[in-house]
Structure 1
Amino acid sequence: MGSKWRKAKLALGLNLCVYLPKTLEDSSPSSLDSAERLSDAALLSPANWAMGSSRPTTPTPSSHGLKLSRSGSKSSKTCSICLTKMKQGGGHALFTAECSHSFHFHCITSNVKHGNQICPVCRAKWKEIPVQGPNLDPPPGRAAIGPVGWSQNDALVTMVRRLPPPRRDLSRRHIVPLYQAHEPGVFNDDESLDHQPVFDERSSCNKNGTGENFCRTIEIKTFPEVSAVPKSSSSDNFTVLVHLKAATSVTRQNPSRNQSSLPQFSQTHRAPVDLVTVLDISGSMAGTKLALLKRAMGFVIQNLGSNDRLSVIAFSSTARRLFPLRRMTDTGRQQALQAVNSLVANGGTNIAEGLRKGGKVLEDRRGKNPVASIILLSDGQDTYTVSVSGANQPQPNYQLLLPLSIHGGDNTGFQIPVHAFGFGADHDASSMHSISEISGGTFSFIETEAVIQDAFAQCIGGLLSVVVQELQVAVECVNTSLFLGSLKAGSYPSRVMADGRRGFIDVGDMYADEERDFLVSVNVPAESSSNLTSLIKVRCIYKDPLTKEMATIESGEVKIERPEVAGQALVSIEVDRQRNRLQAAEAMAQARAAAELGDLAGAVSTLENCRRVLSETVSAKSNDRLCVALDAELKEMQERMASRHVYEASGRAYILSGLSSHSWQRATARGDSTDGSSLVQAYQTPSMVEMLTRSQAMLLGSPSAQRLVRPLCSQPKPR
């Protein structure tokens, strides 16, 4: 067989750079078998990456290029461009790039013919690209000989053109080795920060009366449920809506430009991020799942800025840090892509160990970027730390999955938010939702493989636009006869002081253009003399992540009129809308509790009753878009409770991702349905939309982009 390959090379021309793969006669069967049978722990071990043929990293320049088909091989892959099988001996030449991704030769040459030097799967920059020549004519005097199984109808001369090496990053004094022989006991080897000077040019900044700089990063609005209450009337549960909106700080790009060439997010006017991705590479992730995860991680890597730092934890039966926190410069991105592309799926699912190591990376770091977060993706159930309970058994303690460095214990609240992504029908949605709730992150349900990248894009679109940190909302009664009843804040920690006159809501971080709505109830006493009653005032205390300075903003007093005669009270549509949102979320939680006990009929009835009540509200009768979207979401949940099988496969995860979105008022990926997309739109920010648009451009109009981006961008935000 080896002589046939040499003849094929001669037939194609001696001056062409063609890769001749090793034949079976040249390879030791035992070495091949041992390489294929490496466990996940061995594949993650840098010690094994130095062992010659068993190294699973990106091929070296001498071991990649055009792979000519062999009729004796039974291997089969899928071309990532045309999505059809690449079967050896199928009549087409194959090309494997140095990043290890393979394509039909005619597909990839068409993709790179305009000078594109980036892998369409992982976005790695190639040093060598395939090109094609005009003919396949044999040299004079020779018979036409083609490789076995290569159709002569493919009139291509296959060549590989070497690209110039990338310029060295002179800003770095040394390059940390991508893989270290042993993990250190303390993860304090993070790359040093290199922040550029901050020039804050937000349009909301101006001079206050004393001549000092004053930035209105938060806008506060208040809405009483009605504008007037008769003097003789009183109320024990009068509602005031507190509406917050964060300022815009991310530079927008020209939408008319080619999306594939969009520049990075503004690095000067946003807070840099320390991001740790904790990725499931258990055996169930093998094949298409892992390939799409690598592509999604490639998107994340390419869209982080040079001041952002990334570390990747891969876990299966064990967990390993692929590399320490590293700035995403050109060199950092290239090394991160190589590390991600080296991943191989095998073994069990140890979520707790992955989170422990991810939390340790952020806990031990020497320098700290202003924003820190963890992204967790898993398609299975933790088989090492907690056991999933049955329908009539107590709920397992999912807090065991999180180290103290993430949730900080019962008294200190969350420290590092974990944005969890449950993947497919077999993941443990209850544990993933609990992880996100305990840590202060969100839970997204990825029902279809193709939407992984879009879900990640939406998440990092928010993380790369944080404008407010450590936000605390203080509510204080103005009138001495008033007392606070309750603070309805979803999952945000809230408390009313013992005197009943002050309350606080801990909001934490807010993304650019993000909004928060909280309902405050107070008692309104009867009024004897005044024509106005002052109710409450609101104060926001927060930290600017760029300047590290604390700031305070106060609202005016909320007042209502007190006429002598009762007139027709006009209910605030803003207050009614948020009441509907909270009522729908409460119905979802009740339905989920009933379904977990096996009462699917009762769960469906709860959702149906909520839909009926919402339909009679003022906002529903005025065709408010948020109310319409809530009804569509509740209906979708009813359909996902059609049977026990349907509920366990998708219903539970769909409800939990909806609850996460409502409780944090933050966009999450939700199943594979567009029915509730306008609801997600209510929490989606322009930064998220922009990042989703980038993902859509990269995926070239794939179905996943159509599901997430187009419905979300087609309508204005309901307000």
Structure 2
Amino acid sequence: MALAWERARRALATRLCIRFPARHVAIQDVPRELDDVEAPLPEVEEQEERRSGSRSSAKICAICLGGMRSGHGQALFTAECCHKFHFHCISSNVQHGNKVCPICRAIWKELPFHGPLIADVAAQGTATANPSDWPQGRLPRADTVNRQDHFPVFRTPESEIFNDDEQINLQSETTVGGGHDGDGIPSSVEIVTYTEFPAIKESVAQKNFTILIHLKAPHAPASVSSRAPLDLVTVLDVSGSMAGTKLALLKRAMSFVIQSLGPSDRLSVIAFSSCAWRLFPLRKMTAFGRQQSLQAVGSLVANGGTNIADGLRKAARVMEDRQARNPVCSIILLSDGVDTYIVTPTQGAPPDYEPLVPRSILPGSGHHVQVHAFGFGADHDSAAMHSIAEMSGGTFSFIDEVGTIQDAFAQCIGGLLSVVAQETRLSIECADEGVLLTSIKSGGYANEVAGDGRGGFVDVGDLYADEERDFLVTVRVPVAPGDTALILPSCTYRDAVTTETVRVEGDRVTVPRPAGPVSAAMSPQVEREWHRVHATEDMAAARAAAEDNDFARAASILESRRRALESLASLSSDPQTLALVAELREMQDRAESRQRYEESGRAYILAGLSSHSWQRATARGDSTELTGLVHTYQTPSMVDMLHRSQALLPEVVEALNRSPTVAPSRSPAADPASQRRSLARAFRPTKSFNGRSS
């Protein structure tokens, strides 16, 4: 009974946020009327955890000491230090002036509040920074964004199910007929083929005769209203290392994303540091939705650790639990650090990154969502970000210079807003008897050759407007007189706008079989693709050598491939080959020493591997430095969005020049590329004593 009285006394003290000195309670000190007091307290070890400042039990509110379970009519509040409380308990505490965590004594910057949410506050005029006053929705200066008096954060308690997405009506949101070109003729995926050689001598059998199958997606719809709407979740790192200019530039990049989405697109933002929280559910980007979203993003502050896994878990829940679904969906992840909660280094073995990605969004799960990962700065875990992208079928981009973050986002958004084909599958069927399919080179795309060798397929997935894919297939060709029919390619996909299934039959691939001599000149298209495939394999080999600390061998592998390409007279003027040479030279330079490799070489090579594996544009390093292949996979929609982003550069420079935290070049005569490089150099992170960027 004495123990019960002591528990009750301490519960009252905690509720009033006062401290009593510990003392032993004698039996005679306890009033008889408290004999029957029941205190639903946690176990003794959980009490010790609370006293020592460690994580408390997720089932007990540390203020009222009552149970906490979601879905039982009690709102819960998760603080930025990841401790949970009943919302009414902690908001009462805050109203009495207590702005520190009752458990770990962390000073809170985000406070619970019994009152209107942030959107309502803006409507009432009580917030001094209103997104509607910013030109084109741009965020305010970096030195005012983080001030608590400008952007108080009222984080609402989260439910266990994220089914509060804003409703949509797909029939009214999209215009049927967007899959036709300007002449009213249906636009579909194009299939073009090239044989390795123009002919095969009739008396010669070929074990591995190469055929290049080229796919090109339809053009973008003529009007914005006729494209497929997008559901987008952005997962943003707001850990302590993002403080200052990096967070300000991230907010500006998110402002550009918000302004680029249409009223039929929906956006949800997940922020994470030591834990993750959802700023708002999937919301349509109408004028009002944009204003609310801009204000929510503007309220972000940087502190805490890096919990990538928790951010992705919440993003996956948003996608899984949504009541309505736009035809296109994607997750964008940005982080500048290393996950310190899930990934644990292992002696002599690479870390296991699988726990970072929820199984529910992986291919084959029924809710597959691609994660496009962006590694930000020199201190991010590029191996983890690349693995996240690869597992989900997305791309990995490396943002070397922090000033280019908006361009990197713009390129990605330009593609996502132009998806025209989904669930695309390329099928290959052998034609004449004796012709057998022996292999398919498809990069990161899953492929399969039938057991009898008479066919196969490649799962291509989504295609952006005007996007192209090249696949090399090899067949065994028997001795035969006359022409030999090799394969019959076909393609099926779902139109992203009409949701109708489309099947396209390619032309039968036939090779002449003359009795006399044949030309030995290889098709330039096939030759170029073979060199790209071999170069990609060498990039992977160089990365493996560098991971084994053999940097001389890594540089040698890249140099050998580069010199081989430079010696090709047939491709000496081919722009894609020239760009591949420049890319290999850049990789070689970044892999020559441990310091260069750790700083940027690993991330640069991984971003290149991601781009070539999926044949899709990624940002890597300072993309203004290289031309050609770095941009080969860009589509017209990506280029258009990138130009829109770059047009805002002078405004960004002017706004950040006013910030006391940075001093980029102010030369008015500099061209946009030079301005961008100067801006990026001014924002290059410096090392702090703990090894993180500051």
- Quote the Cα distance in structure 1 between the aligned partners of 2:535 and 2:454: 29
Contact 1:249 1:269 in 2 (8 A): no
User: Is residue 193 from structure 1 mapped to residue 168 from structure 2 by the alignment?
Assistant: yes
Shift of 1:60: 7.6
Aligned runs of 1:40-59 on 2, under 5 Å? 42-43=108-109, 47=112
Q: 1:292 to 1:226 in 2, by over 3 A?
A: same
Question: Secondary structure at the residue paired with 2:360?
Answer: helix
Does 2:463 correspond to 1:510?
Answer: yes
**CA-CA distance at 1:613 after TM superposition:** 2.3
The corresponding residue for 1:355 is 312
Aligned to 2:649: 699
Q: CA deviation at 1:611?
A: 1.5
- The equivalent residue for 2:349 is 394
In structure 1, distance between residues paired with 2:431 and 2:350: 43
Q: Report how far residue 616 of structure 1 moved.
A: 3.5
Change (3 A) 1:48 1:394: farther
1:346 corresponds to 2:334:
no
Conserved in 1, the CA contact under 8 Å of 2:361 and 2:367? Answer: yes
- Shift of the 644–50 alpha-carbon distance from structure 1 to 2, 3 Å rule, reads farther
Amino acid at match of 1:401: L
**Is 1:451–1:705's contact at 8 Å kept on the other side of the alignment?**
no
SS of residue paired to 1:490: coil
Work out the CA distance in 2 between the residues paired with 1:272 and 1:314: 23
CA distance in 2, matches of 1:204, 1:709: 37
Which one of 265, 268, 275 corresponds to residue 318 of structure 1?
A: 275
Give the match's secondary structure for 1:700: helix
Contact 2:396 2:610 in 1 (8 A): yes
2:629 aligns to what? 679
Q: Deviations over 1:208-259 (max 9, x none)?
A: xxxxxx73420100000111111111211110000000111244xxxxxxxx
Contact 1:276 1:312 in 2 (8 A): yes
User: Is residue 545 of structure 1 aligned with residue 492 of structure 2?
Assistant: no
- Cα deviation, residue 705, structure 1: 5.8
Cα distance in 1 for residues equivalent to 2:201 and 2:515: 6
Separation in 2, partners of 1:311, 1:323:
6
CA deviation digits over 1:362-414, x for unaligned, max 9?
00000000000000000000000012456xx2122211101112115xx6598
Paired residue for 2:443, among 490, 495, 508?
Answer: 490
- Letter of the 1:191 counterpart: E
For structure 1, the residue ranges without an aligned partner over 5 or more in a row are 1-29, 65-96, 101-111, 125-177, 208-213, 252-265, 711-719
Matched, 1:638 2:588: yes
- Change in CA separation of 1:584 and 1:353 when aligned onto 2, cut-off 3 Å: same
Output the CA distance in 2 between the equivalents of 1:440 and 1:336. Answer: 28
Identify which of 396, 404, 407 aligns with 2:362.
Answer: 407
Give the TM-score, by structure 1 length: 0.72
1:345 and 1:658 map into 2 onto residues whose CA distance is: 30
From the superposition, tell whether residues 632 and 690 of structure 1 become closer, same or farther in structure 2 (CA, over 3 Å). same
Cα deviations across residues 466-499 of structure 1 (Å, max 9, x unaligned)? 0000000001110110111111000001111111
**1:219·1:245 contact (CA, 8 Å) conserved in 2?**
yes
- In 2, the alpha carbon distance for the partners of 1:572 and 1:41 equals 67
Q: Do 1:573 and 1:619's aligned partners in 2 also have CA atoms closer than 8 Å?
A: yes
- Alpha carbons 1:191, 1:326 under 8 Å: kept: yes
SS of equivalent residue, structure 1 residue 384:
coil
What's the secondary structure of 1:217's corresponding residue?
A: coil
Deviations 1:74-124 (Å, cap 9, x if unpaired)?
A: xxxxxxxxxxxxxxxxxxxxxxx4459xxxxxxxxxxx9xxx854544699
Q: CA deviation at 1:270?
A: 0.7
User: CA 1:295/1:626 → structure 2, altered by over 3 Å: closer, same or farther?
Assistant: same
Q: 1:567-599, CA deviations, whole angstroms, 9 ceiling, x for partnerless residues? A: 333311111111111111100000000000100
Residue 285 (str. 1) matches residue 262 (str. 2): no
| Cα 1:709–1:561 shift into 2, 3 Å | farther
Q: 1:601 to 1:625 in 2, by over 3 A?
A: same
Distance 1:49 1:533, change over 3 A: farther
Confirm whether residue 301 of structure 1 aligns to residue 258 of structure 2. Answer: yes
Partners in 1 of 2:454 and 2:605 — Cα distance?
Answer: 36
Aligned to 1:378: 335
Residue of 187, 207, 224 corresponding to 1:236: 207
User: 1:612 Cα deviation (Å)?
Assistant: 2.4
1:326 maps to amino acid: R
After superposition, the Cα gap between the structure-2 partners of 1:217 and 1:39, relative to the gap in structure 1 and judged at 3 Å, is farther
Q: Which moved more, 1:373-382 or 1:398-407?
A: 398-407
Cα contact 1:414–1:438 (8 A) shared by 2: no
Distance 1:330 1:588 in 2: 46
Residues of 2 paired with 1:553 and 1:396: CA distance?
43
Q: 1:90 maps to what in 2?
A: none
User: Do the aligned partners of 1:591 and 1:604 also contact (CA within 8 Å) in 2?
Assistant: yes
Question: How many residues are matched?
Answer: 552
Match of 1:93 in 2: none
Distance 1:192 1:642, change over 3 A: same
Q: Which amino acid aligns with 2:622?
A: D
Distance in 1 (alpha carbons) for counterparts of 2:284 and 2:432: 53
Partners of 1:122 and 1:299 within 8 A in 2: no
Instruction: Please say if 1:599 is aligned against 2:550.
Output: yes
Mapped partners of 1:583, 1:650: distance in 2 = 23
How far apart are the structure 2 equivalents of 1:352 and 1:247? 36
In structure 1, the residue matched to 2:56 is: none
Aligned residues of 2:131 and 2:139 also touching (Cα < 8 A)? no
Whole-angstrom CA distance in 2 between matches of 1:708 and 1:551: 46
**Partners of 1:39 and 1:241 in 2: how far apart?**
64
| TM alignment of 1:412-431, pairs within 5 A | 415-431=368-384
| 440 and 708 in structure 1: CA distance in 2 versus 1, 3 angstrom threshold | farther
Q: Using a 3 Å threshold, how does the CA distance of structure 1 residues 441 and 567 change in structure 2: closer, same or farther?
A: same
Distance across 2 between alignment mates of 1:58 and 1:314: 21
Residues 446-482 of structure 1 deviation map (CA, whole Å, 9 limit, x = unaligned): 0111111000000000000000000000011101101
Instruction: Give the secondary structure class of the aligned counterpart of 1:278.
Output: strand
Contact 2:179–2:187 under 8 Å retained in 1: no
Residues 1:247 and 2:218 aligned together: yes
Cα distance change, pair 653–544 in 1 and its aligned pair in 2 (3 A): same
Amino acid at match of 2:466: D
Alpha-carbon distance in structure 2 between the residues aligned to 1:668 and 1:461 = 12
Report the more deviating stretch, 655-664 or 493-502: 493-502
Report what 2:291 is aligned to.
334
> For the residues of structure 2 that align with 1:644 and 1:123, how far apart are their CA atoms?
38
Q: Which amino acid aligns with 1:706?
A: A
Q: Which moved more, 1:303-312 or 1:186-195?
A: 186-195
Give unmatched runs, 5+ long, in structure 2.
1-95, 143-152, 654-669, 678-694
Q: What TM-score do the two structures reach when normalised by structure 2?
A: 0.74
Distance 1:454 1:499 in 2: 48
Q: How does 1:117-156 map to 2 (within 5 A)?
A: 117-118=135-136, 120-121=138-139
User: What corresponds to 1:565 in structure 2?
Assistant: 516
Aligned partner of 2:605 in structure 1 is: 655
1:224 equivalent in structure 2: 195
Rounded Cα–Cα distance in structure 1 between residues aligned with 2:432 and 2:127: 78
Aligned-pair identity (%): 53
SS at match of 1:535: strand
Q: Whole-Å Cα distance in 2 between the matches of residues 60 and 290 of structure 1?
A: 27
- Is the partner of 2:340 in helix, strand or coil? coil
Matching residue of 1:76: none
| Structure 1 residues 378 and 117: alpha-carbon distance in aligned structure 2, compared to 1, 3 A threshold | closer
Please give the per-residue CA displacement for 1:30-51, whole angstroms capped at 9, x wherever unaligned. Answer: 989969xx99995456x25869
The two structures, once aligned, show a CA RMSD in angstroms of 3.2
